[in-house]
Amino acid sequence: MKAVRFHSYGGPEVLVYEDVPKPAPASGEVVVKVHATSVNPIDWKVRAGHLKSFRDYPLPFILGWDVSGVVESCGMDVTEWKPGDEVYGRPDIGRSGAYAEYIAVQTKDLARKPQKLDHVHSAAIPLAGLTAWQALFDTAGLQSMQKVLIHAAAGGVGHFALQFAKQKNVYVAGTASARNQEFLKQLGCDLPINYETTRFEDIVHDFDAVIESLGGEIRQRSWKVLKKGGIMVCLIGPPPSEEDAKAHGSRAAIIWAQTKPDQLAEVAKLVDSGRVRPEIAAVFPLREAAQAHKMSETEHVRGKIVLQVI
């Protein structure tokens, strides 16, 4: 089969479109014919070697931890799926990914694909969508009428977080540049904040939670918007300082999203009902993965970048 692999850590140019052995399903796995996958920042962080101390991947390696496709074959003990089923999911981040024509995936990492979306749109959802869901509800425990500040609200995780929060009647302030203010409004953002002209901590106070994915001074300034007992949920390292949290009378957490098929199923329902939509910034053919990485590395993508495999 064809896949995109990298043989050494480096820039986007290390991604090579080449022939590799087609996987076979082990017990508890299915092989999925990949129709689309998406690019997440972790892809280029791994490729560049930024996460080497955290996890050393065996080279050559196939990236890609979103998949939408069709079950081609099933391993022993698989009862949930059969060939021909349309699935989407987030394959195990410790194993090789979906920048390929086929991928072997454990059944626990899959759910039925949204019926009203094509594979390109479905592939945009799992990793970013699960992260948004788990940050808002599993970790921050947000409920109707509470208030959240979502940083990078126009990005992959942020635009899902914004829409999920609005579905639960949570008040949302979101940060983005001038060019994305209208986009945030369209997604239902109650208080879009242009970070180029406005310091968010000047206008946001006593919030229940912050979803923080930018780090550095933005994290430091974000403590000021939380009410006593509020929570900062960080998506990137280093872990938030417990001392800072204590000093502000707040709580802090860092999360690493997990695949939860029940959440994927719930999100599929939301998108099928038309109440949530993935925004696609660009679709590249698989062989142009390097171009897709260059775009993602600008860190100014609106929504998601998708790689179409067939």
The contact set with ligand NAP (CB under 6 A) reads 40-42, 127-128, 131, 151-152, 154-158, 175-177, 180, 195, 213-214, 235-236, 255-257, 296, 299-302
Nearer to ligand NAP, 118 or 299 (CB): 299
- What phi and psi values does residue 106 have, to the nearest 5 degrees? -70, 140
Radius of gyration over every alpha carbon of the chain, rounded to an integer in angstroms: 19
Instruction: Judge contact between 163 and 125, C-beta under 8 A.
Output: no
Query: Which residue sits closest to ligand NAP, CB atoms considered?
Result: 155
d(CA 255, CA 102): 29
Least separation in angstroms between residue 109's CB and ligand NAP is: 14
Query: Cβ closer to ligand NAP: 141 or 249?
Result: 141
Given a contact cutoff of 8 angstroms between Cβ atoms, the answer to whether 211 and 162 are in contact is no
For the bound state, the minimum distance from the C-beta of residue 99 to ligand NAP, rounded and expressed in Å, comes to 16
> Nearest distance from residue 26's CB to ligand NAP, in Å?
25
Distance from C-alpha of 84 to C-alpha of 204, rounded to nearest angstrom = 49
Residue nearer to ligand NAP on the CB measure, 2 or 300 = 300
Closest separation between CB of residue 83 and ligand NAP, Å? 31
Contact by Cβ (8 Å): 62, 14: no
Shortest Å, Cβ 291 to ligand NAP? 15
Name the residue nearer to ligand NAP (CB basis): 15 or 132. 132
Alpha helices in 60-215 (DSSP H): 119-123, 126-133, 156-167, 181-186, 200-203
- Rounded Cα distance between 299 and 177, Å, is 12
Quick one: 104 or 176, whose CB is closer to ligand NAP?
A: 176
